[in-house]
Amino acid sequence: MSPRGQLILIEGLDRSGKSTQSSILTAKFSKSKLLKFPDRTTKIGSIINEYLTDKSVQLSDQSAHLLFSANRWELNNEIIQLLNEGYFIILDRYIYSGIAYSLAKYEFSKRNANDSTVTSTVDEQIGDVNWLIGPDLGLPKPDLTLFLTLDLAELSNRKGWGEERYELQEFQTIVKKSFLRILPTDTDDSIEIVDVNNKNIEQVTKLIWDIVEKKGVNALTENPIKKVSI
Ligand code: TMP
Ligand code: MG
């Protein structure tokens, strides 16, 4: 088989600059494609979009979690095919957002038992990382994952903040903790944390590209596509 493209994931909090950086990174490769999750253009994505933009829409936390995962499975074949055709795929959010946001709902709902904006109930599945990863097992695993992190005070000043479900400062603080808890940076050297505090767009772009080069994900590879596993 001929060499394949690589799968690069950019994760981060809402408004952390990951969409900007994902687009810039995509443009660095001549044969590349940017995929954003949730992908709101699919059937399942349209339900997710309604859930995120209309705070009166109620879904159980388990259902919402499974829909986000199902939305990734909708694109599974396309991702594999594009990689095999030599495309570099940049993902703007993926499995770690899935786990971190659901896990954060569990923490949030314990603290705010009467507030249903973010979450419905405190259910044990939503606090259980093994349950949360379950539906994503077997999806293509990114060759490199970058988590953009910054201080929450800087985040809430950014444009557009607060429009969607989940864009609450208290909730984002918990989301950040959840990401840092679940990302296995000690044991998995394909995962890197990128501190973007007090850095402009160009500086962050350079930080990201340096890591991409250092990890060798800027060139085609003979390695088989990895799968998400425990
Ligand atoms: P976006 O702002 O990047 O379009 O993502 C919309 C929201 O969906 C964001 O608050 C993060 C959340 N999310 C999940 O809760 N689970 C997931 O699996 C993904 C991909 C996103
Ligand atoms: Mg958002």
What one-letter code names the amino acid at 80? Answer: I
In a domain, 225, yes or no: no
Which ligand 1 atom lies nearest to the CA of residue 101? 15
Q: Which domain holds residue 193?
A: 7-214
Q: Which ligand is nearest to the CA of 166?
A: 1
Number of separate domains in the chain? 1
Take residue 30 and report the two structure tokens written for it.
Answer: 């001549």
CA of 10 to the centre of ligand 2 (A): 14
Q: Predicted ipTM?
A: 0.98
Euclidean distance between CA atoms 43 and 140, whole angstroms: 21
Euclidean distance between CA atoms 58 and 78, whole angstroms: 30
In a domain, 221, yes or no: no
Q: Which ligand is nearest to the CA of 67?
A: 1
Please report, for residues 37, 139, 143, 194, the alpha-carbon distance to residue 58 in angstroms, rounded to integers and kept in the order given: 20, 27, 35, 34
The tens-digit pLDDT sequence of the chain (230 residues) is 799 999 999 999 888 899 999 999 999 999 999 999 999 999 999 999 999 999 899 999 999 999 999 999 999 999 999 999 999 999 999 999 999 999 999 999 888 876 666 665 678 999 999 999 999 999 999 999 999 998 888 777 776 777 888 888 888 999 999 999 999 999 999 999 999 999 999 999 999 999 999 999 999 999 999 999 98
Question: pTM for the complete prediction?
Answer: 0.94
Query: 214, 144 in Cβ contact below 8 A?
Result: no
Ligand 1 proximal residues by C-beta, below 6 Å: 14, 37-38, 52, 68, 93, 97-98, 101, 166
* CATH number of 42's domain: 3.40.50.300
CA of 222 to the centre of ligand 2 (A): 35
